[in-house]
Amino acid sequence: MQLLTSARLTFSHLGLAGVLILSGCNLIPSSDAQQQPNPQNQQGGAVAVDAEIAELAALTEERTYTGTTRPFREISLRSQAEGRITDISVNVGDQVQSGQVLARLDGTIASSAVTQAEAEVAARESEVASLQAEVEDARTQVERARLELQQARSDSQRQAQLFRQGAVSEQAAETARTALGTAEQALRSAEKQVGNRQQSVAASARRITAQQAIVSQERERQSYGVLTSPVNGSVLARPTEPGNLAQAGTEVLRVGDFNQVKVEVRVSEREFANLRVGQRAEVRLDALPNQILAGQITRISPAAETRARLIPVEVTIPNSTGRIGSGLLARVNFQTAQSQRVVVPESATQIGQKPQQGQNQAPPKSATMYVVSRSGDQASVSPREVQLGNRANGQVEILSGLKVGESFVVRSSGKLEAGAPVRLSVLSQG
């Protein structure tokens, strides 16, 4: 019994010692462990580095703009004449078709004006018909006068011959000449009457044309009493009701064309330089969270807002299904074409540099990067002076000094020196 108890105590001490030995491996915090000198580095061993391959990319800083959906067109149906509204056949939200009658105004006065104008046209036409009959009578008189003239001329010639032969007296010959002159005068008078009657007909015809124009105007005013939809769309507003008196210019309904939808966003002056009409844009709606809608810029305002210095930009997206309504929150991203350059993490250009002091210092235009060279299984680094470009999202453009396909150091576990051997980590590319 004592032997069994002693064995158990011995086993317990051994277990406790094992636990202490195992836990002793993590007694130094991880942060402290990283600050401990690397025995391998102290002995001239290779520094561990993370390396990447230089590639071409576009340095983009995606910006999202918010706006509200609106119909592609908004048409205000207004009364063009004074009248009482007798009927409005649609409500807000109703779908309408082009040419559909939406509202009516009392057309009693307009109908009376049309009837009166048409009666005046009929009276003018009757007058023209009467004058044309007088023209025909005048032409008949001309023909009669022409025949009488011929007879008078013949009689005058005969009497003159008989007078020369001494068969009739001079008075008879003179009477025949007088009758000839009278017949000539009667013909000229009849012909003048025809011209006068024709001028009267022409004047009456012009009065008919003018009166017909008045009839057309009155019919046009009569049509103002019927309001029809000019487009396929939806009713956006109904600001009045049947029974109200509408003056000329009173809005009765507002209709929206939703075949396309517009979103207006506001961009800064700096971003405005990269935008143009026809440029593509991606639109996301909270109402349709799983869809990305393709749109394009259709209008860029020529004037910026006075206070915020923001420029309104209009983006249009198709809406053939009609699912997108008005007033929805929209998020817009513009697709800008940017030149492709070598882009690297900014940390790769800051290895071995002292951090900048102060927030107002301009970012450096050049830096030293470490390029990795390989010879078999061995790798070493060499410093390389590079020219820096734009920065965004922790990335920086390399204008010169680093070529596509070259391997460079992103992070290192120690100080790097020219020609020093390095150990590539498992995260390294290539």
**CATH classification (class only), 257-334:** mainly beta
Measured CA angle at 9 (ends 3, 14), to 5 deg: 125
Going by the DSSP 8-state scheme, the letter that residue 351 receives in this structure is: T
Task: Quickly count: other Cβ atoms within 10 Å of residue 330's Cβ.
Answer: 25
Q: Where are the domains of the chain?
A: 39-59+340-354+363-424, 109-223, 257-334
Quote the pLDDT of residue 30.
Answer: 33
Q: Of residues 18 and 54, which shows the higher confidence score?
A: 54
Q: How far is CA 112 from the centre of its chain?
A: 44
Instruction: Give the span between the Cα atoms of 296 and 15, in whole angstroms.
Output: 73
Instruction: Give, in order, the Cα–Cα distances in Å from 345 to each of 55, 82, 369, 397, 424.
Output: 11, 72, 11, 9, 18
- Read off the pTM: 0.51
Q: How far is CA 213 from the centre of its chain?
A: 39
Give 17's pLDDT tier (boundaries 50, 70, 90). Answer: very low
Taking the alpha carbons at both ends of the chain, their separation in whole angstroms is: 67
Quote the pLDDT of residue 238.
Answer: 94
Element (H, E) at 198: helix 170-223
Q: Which amino acid is at 402?
A: L
Quote the pLDDT of residue 359.
Answer: 53
Instruction: Give the span between the Cα atoms of 332 and 146, in whole angstroms.
Output: 92
Quote the pLDDT of residue 377.
Answer: 82
CA neighbor of 385 nearest in space, from 372, 367, 371, 403: 367
Mean pLDDT of the chain: 82
Structure tokens belonging to residue 131: 């004058």
Fold classification of 39-59+340-354+363-424 (topology level): 2.40.420
